[in-house]
Amino acid sequence: MSLKVINPGLSTSIQDLGRPGYFHLGIPMGGAMDRFALRVANMLVGNPEGAAGLEAVFMGPTLTFEKDVLVAVTGADLPPKVDGVVQDGWTAFEVKAGQTLSFDFLKSGARAYIAISGGIDTPPALGSRSTYPIGALGGFEGRNIQAGDVIPLGETDMIEPELSVPAKLRRLPGKPAELRVLPGLYWHRLTPAAQEGFFADDWAVALEADRMGYRFKGGKPLEFVAREQPFGAGADPSNIVDGCYSYGSIQVPGGLEPIVLHRDAVSGGGYFTLGAIISADMDLIGQLQPHTPVKFRKVDMAEALAARATRKKMLAEVRAHLG
């Protein structure tokens, strides 16, 4: 059982929920940038939530299938089409053997998740099928999909294509998108004015925004507390002795453009970080297009945990709805 890639889209990769456990070797967890969307897509077609699907950035792929399958597309509003007929997002639909699944233009969001009944069945690497191209790990031969690839699918019993997730249980960023930040890590390196300015300024997603990190521009340069740089750190005030990076941590090389590290993060380096995006808002970043206006909002740990509980509750509601 397999699917065939007729056109890969812009940047389409196989992703599941990732491979935690190897960050100490510089191998990031990877996996869907919008984990909620992937989980829901899988639930809609009767797969385990962590089954591997496709993450399509800005543009959808064109695919054909060897046998009849159920498909669901979640995350970005990237309308799927079966032999040219538009289907609903966040809803399971059938694609028969020989029919073509393609996509209309992107309406909102940045990454669509395509789950196929049975799930993608490429060989796992370090416990995951997620694509990590830098290390040539996972995915289809360690890379994004290309035209002509024949990708294995798992066998499964078809369920009825009746399922849909109502709008209130879907999640896309607002405008401006609000990203909540817990200050910490090397926050003390910034002057009080810079600490305040970071949250007060209007930012926008820069063009350099991918699975490794999202860059932001438009705010004022950040000023550092004056100090003699510690031995081994490097001369720039934004440098530290190379340390680990947290997922979601915000580094600002030279104090200029903040970069939020995402699922394919580098595991460490020599730039100070001012804190991290809270876990509840990481999925949202994956849905931000370049030029999207963004506000960073300061929260404390209690708010971060409450937001995390809210996300968990929403996932539970989806499970109950699709139960």
Partner 1 sequence: MKTRYTYGGDEHIYVEMDDEMSLDAFFKSLSMSNAVRDAKIKGVTEICPANASFQVRFDPDVISPDEMMKKVKELEHRAEDAEKRLRTRIIEIPVYYQDPWTHETLMRFRERHQDPSGTDLDYAARINGFDSVEAFIEAHHSQPWFVSMVGFVAGLPFLYQLVEREKQLQVPKYLRPRTDTPKLTVGYGGCFSCIYSVRGAGGYQMFGVTPMPIFDPELKQSYLNDFMVFFKPGDIVKWKPIDRGEYDRILAEVEADTYLPRIAEVDFDLDAFNADMPGTNAKLMEALNVA
| Contacting positions for partner 1 (CB under 8 A) | 20-21, 23-27, 125, 132, 134-137, 142, 182, 184-185, 187, 230-236, 239-249, 266-270, 273, 275-279, 301, 304-305, 308, 312
Number of C-beta neighbours around residue 123 at 10 A: 9
Of 102, 124, 1, 111, nearest to 51 (Cα)?
124
Compute the least distance from the CB of residue 128 to partner 1, in Å.
Answer: 13
Q: CB-wise, 55 or 281, nearer to partner 1?
A: 281
Q: CB-wise, 90 or 247, nearer to partner 1?
A: 247
Compute the least distance from the CB of residue 298 to partner 1, in Å.
Answer: 13
Structure tokens at 190: 């910034």
Compute the least distance from the CB of residue 182 to partner 1, in Å.
Answer: 5
Of 133, 155, 128, nearest to 146 (Cα)?
133
φ, ψ of residue 147 to 5 degrees: the values are -55, 135
Tokens 């609903």 map to which residue?
88
Compute the least distance from the CB of residue 48 to partner 1, in Å.
Answer: 19
Compute the least distance from the CB of residue 30 to partner 1, in Å.
Answer: 12
Compute the least distance from the CB of residue 297 to partner 1, in Å.
Answer: 14
Strand partners, 216: 205
Distances (CA, A) of 180 to 224, 281, 283: 22, 7, 12
Q: CB-wise, 159 or 305, nearer to partner 1?
A: 305
Contact (CB, 8 A) for 172 and 291: no
Q: CB-wise, 267 or 289, nearer to partner 1?
A: 267
Q: CB-wise, 117 or 238, nearer to partner 1?
A: 238
Q: CB-wise, 235 or 320, nearer to partner 1?
A: 235
End-to-end CA distance of the chain: 27
Angular region, 31: left φ>0, alpha ψ -120 to 50, beta rest: left
